[in-house]
Structure 1
């Protein structure tokens, strides 16, 4: 299972199956993102695609078409898109239309399109199941930043539109990788149960589409972000995860517009493993390795640049021109990655993130109340530390020690307020406890290690395999190891429908409601390497960094009366003057 390969294969099918000749590719906002995640514009143009258009752009309706061109239409099968496409077909801009929907389309909608195709310009209508964002070969996202609504402080439900979109996206993932899986879900999560049942209903309704010849059994495991609120809060130290946490990756694009001294050309850069070999080779490398590899990339570039300095003959010119595209690409990559890594380095040093991360890792991985409390207070008093990092340390403390008899959550909040931390960040601590405190979690997130495990880690640390910045392992790692070894308990992860729990699935699709993270993607990457007979793919409603994670929680509780929260006794001094 490789979601990038699956999407690429569909795009090749779409661009090459129609008659030869120049084409226009007509998309909507979401399908534009789906395509751009796996292909650059220049790559698409190499497939005889002359022009890219957006059907939902205000300018498109006013544009004049070219009747001698063929139009490839790639849209999500939404009501809005069906209406826009009907308008297009009534007054066609192009000579022939090849229509491809990103998911299952209703027969009634096909009939409506046929009725509006009065000039008979539609040559083909197909379903190509790529209704999701393929991020890495083993990672996909629905691109839904806000999927939850809190009814009150005890009940969190799906946003209806987000649920519908997630069902559609998950169904398209299964169809694109040709799997008809058994579905299991996190038992204490109504969100997970609802999603599992709805996906199962769709699979049964569309049974002919799911009639795959399964050589091995597959599994879809649906989890709830609330079971592990720690992972999205931590600073990261591998390239892709680090860039997302400190700079934010949005559909493979990173904005550097606020970085001092950055040229206009580098105000936004693309980080795509499909289009950038250096990024592909370093995507899961740690901070120290990236710096060394950047130096090697620069040395390679300088050596090539020196070899092109003397052009003394026609042959020299010919050789330079022939190598120029590769030379230009290498030049662009060097500049881009030096700029990105330079900005990461600046922020790590400016915000003292090594110091912050060491304490984060200790809190998330070890049980030492007095030691952790002392470390947090020390960093809160350090004015070099960002307000957001100080607040996140208190969040981690609150999650670990909320039921500790001597917890000092109110005292730490007092220190944050005296320091001048914003009301928004203070309230995020309460929102987080309501969202994913011990009452909401099924798993023992803070499992205290036994002496044998601690000793093993100590000796691993001595040999340089581990270090203080990689102590934390996301809960997903343990869940997947239990699943691989047949230890995942049926009462904690029940099966949807009448299927046997004794079946061993080698193809595993994990989906996290409330968003996945790049640290969890790294865990999946490592498990795929450690257990080569298994094939694991991870997805989520979104790919979170700490900022987007907290934004989602705030959004969920925006209409809840927080004066009636369960944590009043712990956080008595926080006033909520709004609903």
Structure 2
């Protein structure tokens, strides 16, 4: 189950079926992102695609009849209308139309009626209707999917259709399970189940039935169950870049940096296109420093060996290795720039101190000591307002029911340091969004005897790194599912209990409210630890702490506060 490979296969099919000759790809906003996640521009050019156009914003060139047009669109009513207009007055010679999901017969009929010049050669469904972020990670790029506990209908439809496409692209039938206490998870599970029933013939035609294997499971869970993971600073390369710089569709903007070279104002970080990044996604920050040093030394060695170009043979040798040399030069410069900025941010914002306390709050209970250290960091001017607010939010979640809870005085301390109002509101929103009343799970292991024992042993054994003590709740949930221990009353199966008790080998987890790169790393570890088990993780989006606070704000907008009315000042 490799989502990058699945999407790539469809894009390759589209470019090859149109045959040789100059081609243009006509896309919408979402399919542009879907393609750019798995193919670089140079790779697409090799497939004779010389022009990239958006259907909602085409260039004014008229005479392009010599070009074949590959149309790749989501089957929305807006796109059908735009494509109908295109076909009435075709700009290109012939059209090969591919929709990223199931299209209705009535829409196909509408397009056929508009194709008076008979320019259309193909109309097909391909099921590349999601962003393939990594081999085992996908997203729909939706922030703010819920209002309170209710779905936006548009987002519910997008996620259910996307999950159907995912199953079809991975050629997997699936039992649907969901978090029982979550209304949004139940709604999405029902919608996916209905789509699977409606498209039963399509599924039978595309997915072979294997009665001997346990059915793959699609598990739908709620971000509210673990509001802690997205609040933590990260120390693995990929997650750290997202937290401190932000990754959007595999792209990182460095335009805000002084003196950054114009070629590196925006850099692409794709595990599929960048060998160094693929090898070091999950390396911690200390290891990255050492690896960068080795990369620099290797580059310098190669650079020196190319300084002597004296004979024709030398020149030939240099020209042959030049593309590799140039590529290595770009890779070195790119990662040195990124790692340099991460390092500067860590020092500037006292992130070692901040992160140590975050991990302590997430993993241990020691109220008096935590409160004292938190007050100390709130008075430290190098700690950013964003980090200060996150620390108070973590304290609020950990000590919500504590007899000596000092949240009011901490909110006063935030106010005293002139913390912006939206960040003060964020603390209260996080507690309202993901406090004890909103969670099905025992997030901090306060009730479950097995969890308490596990935490005690973990404490006794010591932790290799104080900055990576935390493991997401997802790890426990997945391990229970793999061992056949995930309780049916907490995670029911739609349409009966045919998934319960059997140990699934293929698992797709979808987090309503967004996943994180820390959870993607956790899935990577589980895939390595359990041979034969294959887990894919998806979310409405991939969060860092900033986008998570936006998610919470959106969900809480205009919602009546019921559990945080006692908190004044906000």
Per-residue deviation at 1:456? 4.3
Determine the structure 1 residue equivalent to 2:50.
50
SS of alignment partner, residue 208 of structure 1: helix
**Counterpart for residue 85 of structure 2:** 87
Unaligned stretches of 5+ residues in structure 1 = 151-155, 575-579
Aligned ranges 1:316-355 → 2 under 5 Å: 316-355=314-353
| Correspondence 1:481-492 to 2 at 5 A | 481-492=479-490
Q: Which residue of 2 aligns with 1:415?
A: 413
- 1:213 Cα shift? 2.1
18 and 134 in structure 1: CA distance in 2 versus 1, 3 angstrom threshold: same
Instruction: Write out aligned runs for 1:170-181 (5 A).
Output: 170-181=163-174
| Secondary structure of 2:511's aligned partner | strand
Distance in 2 (alpha carbons) for counterparts of 1:539 and 1:71 = 32
Which residue does the alignment assign to 1:33? 33
Query: Residues 182 and 499 of structure 1 are in contact (CA less than 8 Å); yes or no, is this contact kept in structure 2?
Result: no
Specify the alignment match of 1:107 in structure 2: 105
Instruction: Work out whether 1:197 is the aligned partner of 2:190.
Output: yes
Name the counterpart of 1:135.
133
Task: Describe the SS at the equivalent of 1:33.
Answer: helix
Counterpart-to-counterpart distance in 1, 2:455 and 2:358 = 20
Q: What SS does structure 1 have at the residue aligned with 2:564?
A: coil
Aligned ranges 1:254-273 → 2 under 5 Å = 254-273=252-271
Q: Give the distance between the partners of 1:573 and 1:25, measured in 2 at CA.
A: 54
Residue 443 (structure 1) aligned to one of 427, 441, 447: 441
> For residue 456 of structure 2, what is the aligned residue in structure 1?
454
Quote how far apart the aligned CAs of 1:353 are: 0.4
Contact 2:483–2:503 (Cα < 8 Å) also in 1: no
**Bigger Cα displacement from structure 2, 189-198 vs 444-453:** 444-453
Contact 2:232 2:358 in 1 (8 A): yes
Identify the residue that residue 541 of structure 2 maps to in structure 1: 542
Give the C-alpha shift of residue 454 in structure 1.
3.2
Cα displacement (A) at 1:52? 1.2
Instruction: Supply the distance in 2 between the matched residues of 1:504 and 1:565 (Cα, whole angstroms).
Output: 40
Matches within 5 A, 1:177-326: 177-211=170-204, 212-215=207-210, 216=213, 217-326=215-324
SS of the aligned residue for 1:431 comes to helix
Distance 1:450 1:80, change over 3 A: closer
Matched residue SS, 1:446: coil
- Match of 1:309, SS state, is coil
Deviations 1:350-389 (A, max 9, x none): 1110110000000000111111111111111111111111
Deviation at 1:453, TM superposition (A): 4.2
C-alpha contact 1:227 1:440 (8 A) present in aligned 2: yes
Q: Give, in whole Å, the separation in 2 of the partners of 1:436 and 1:553.
A: 9
Q: Is the 8 A contact 1:394 1:412 kept in 2?
A: yes
Secondary structure of the equivalent of 1:95?
strand
1-side partners of 2:180 and 2:325: how far apart? 55
Distance 1:556 1:65, change over 3 A: farther
User: What are the residue-to-residue correspondences of 1:403-552 with 2, within 5 Å?
Assistant: 403-448=401-446, 450=452, 453-461=455-463, 466-500=464-498, 501-552=500-551
1:168 equivalent in alignment to 2:161:
yes
SS at match of 1:67: strand
Once residues 457 and 142 of structure 2 are traced to their aligned partners in structure 1, the CA distance between those partners, rounded to angstroms, is: 42
Q: Over residues 178-218 of structure 1, what are the superposed CA-to-partner deviations in whole Å (9 max), with x where a residue is unaligned?
A: 11100000010010000000000000000012222244320
Q: Would you say how many aligned residue pairs link Structure 1 and Structure 2?
A: 560
Distance in 2 of aligned mates of 1:64 and 1:221: 49
Q: Secondary structure at the match of 2:64?
A: coil
| Cα offset, 1:566, TM superposition | 2.7
What do residues 309-328 of structure 1 show as CA deviations (whole Å, max 9, x unaligned)?
A: 11111111111111111111
Q: What is the distance in 2 between the residues matched to 1:364 and 1:435?
A: 17
The secondary structure found in structure 2 opposite 1:334 is helix
User: Compared with structure 1, are the counterparts of its residues 565 and 452 closer, same or farther at alpha carbon in structure 2 (3 Å cutoff)?
Assistant: closer
2:394 is aligned with 1:396: yes
Deviation of the 1:434 alpha carbon: 1.2
Provide the secondary structure at the position in 2 that maps to 1:250.
coil
> 1:244 deviation in Å?
0.2
Task: Note the C-alpha offset of 1:529.
Answer: 0.1
Partner deviation per Cα, 1:495-525 (whole Å, 9 max, x = no partner): 1113422332110000000000000000000
Distance in 1, Cα, partners of 2:428 & 2:497:
40
SS at match of 2:51: strand
Q: CA deviation at 1:280?
A: 0.4
Instruction: Say which SS state the counterpart of residue 504 (structure 2) adopts.
Output: coil
* Residues 48-76 of structure 1 deviation map (CA, whole Å, 9 limit, x = unaligned): 1121111111x43x332411211111111
In the superposition, relative to structure 1, how do residues 137 and 452 fare at CA in structure 2: closer, same or farther (>3 Å)? Answer: closer
TM-score (norm 1): 0.95
TM-superposition CA deviations, 1:84-124 (whole Å, max 9, x none) = 11111111111111100000011100000000000101001
Alignment correspondent of 1:148: 146
How far off its partner does 1:556 sit? 2.1
| Kept after mapping to 1: 8 A contact 2:40/2:273 | yes
**1:133-156 CA deviation, whole Å, 9 max, x = no partner?**
000100000111121112xxxxx2
Q: Deviations over 1:462-490 (max 9, x none)?
A: xxxx2111110000000001111111001
- CA distance in 2: counterparts of 1:158 and 1:80, whole angstroms: 22
- Shift of the alpha carbon at 1:532? 1.4
Q: Give ranges in structure 2 of 5+ residues lacking alignment.
A: none
- Kept in 1, the 8 Å contact 2:484–2:502? The answer is no
Superposed CA RMSD in Å reads 1.3
- TM normalised by structure 2 equals 0.96
CA distance in 2, matches of 1:450, 1:496: 31
Q: Secondary structure at the match of 2:542?
A: coil
Per the TM alignment, residue 573 of structure 1 is displaced from its structure 2 partner at its CA by 2.7
Distance 1:453 1:104 in 2: 47
